[in-house]
Amino acid sequence: MQPQDTPIPNLISDIKRTVRAALEEDIGSGDITAQLIPADRSARARVITREACTVCGRAWVEEVFHQLDPDLQLTWHCEDGDQVAANAVLFELTGNARAILTGERTALNFLQTLSGTATTAAEYAARAAGTQIKILDTRKTIPGLRTAQKYAVLCGGCHNHRIGLYDAFLIKENHIAAAGGIDRAIAQAKKIKSGALVEVEVENLDELRQALDSGADVIMLDEFSDEDTRTALSLAKGKAKIEISGSVDSDRLQQLAKLEADYISSGSLTKHLRAIDLSLRIDL
């Protein structure tokens, strides 16, 4: 997969922006350690993964080294979304030694974080294999890396919920209370942005019925029992799509997927990631 092939808005410009900010954060007034190396020295380097993972982050790595030195040459041995074994060489790098060493940590930070997200997503997708359900991410992302992590979720085989607060309505408990009820909140949403998806989070079957009667497109079941979930699915059939949410981890996922809802959403895809252990080895 490539970033330009996804429906995520602003992803390409976000890559340039986040890389620029990350390099400024790390380099500051200059990489004083890299100055130990002669300015004209060339080197070869390779990056390996110390553990099996689903790779994600090529464009971020390439942008790091491009911003530092456009003459650096990268040779990749995998694509975003590929599952690779431990000790696999992910890419090789040739060019100015200072530029390679200056960009090493920033490049690996992006690659290890996004590969960690994609690996978690791949694990979730595997547990839902063979069912109709779609596994969705949430807005519980690392600040500044929203679109990057949303892309990583796609690379892992899961799906994106709304990108932000602007592209769909998600009416939760506090919105309902402040708006004066489920029916009023949904009616107002349809006036504010006609045609936008309207999703409502409900905590019981009575609220579910209110959401259905008011014309919600998607209804999110928050912490429903399996029995109430089955009832909700029966009531909503042909009227609205059902999303299961709340306390969804990889162990619970397989059981929930059997309930045949339309979606399961989990913040764990993006907030409980564990960065992949990567290593850059250089030959001067």
Using CB atoms within 10 Å of the CB of residue 277, give its burial: 0 to 12 exposed, 13 to 18 middle, 19+ buried: middle
CA distance 132 to 269: 19
Which among 140, 209, 239, 271 is annotated as catalytic? 140
Amino acid in position 36: L
d(Cα 160, Cα 113) in Å, to the nearest integer?
18
The residues pairing with 207 across neighbouring beta strands, listed in sequence order, are none
Among the listed residues 14, 80, 137, 201, the single catalytic one is: 201
- Sign of the alpha-carbon torsion through 120, 124, 130, 133: negative
Q: Which of 105, 184, 193, 274 is catalytic?
A: 105
Q: Which of 172, 209, 241, 271 is catalytic?
A: 172
List the catalytic residue out of 69, 222, 228, 277: 222
SS3 content of the chain, % helix, strand, coil (to 5): 45, 20, 35
140 is catalytic: yes
Half-sphere exposure of 130 (CA within 13 A, CB side): 7
Please name the amino acid found at residue 44.
R
Q: Is 223 a catalytic residue?
A: no
DSSP state, 258?
T
Specify whether the CB–CB gap between 198 and 186 falls below 8 A: yes
Catalytic residue numbers read 105, 140, 172, 201, 222
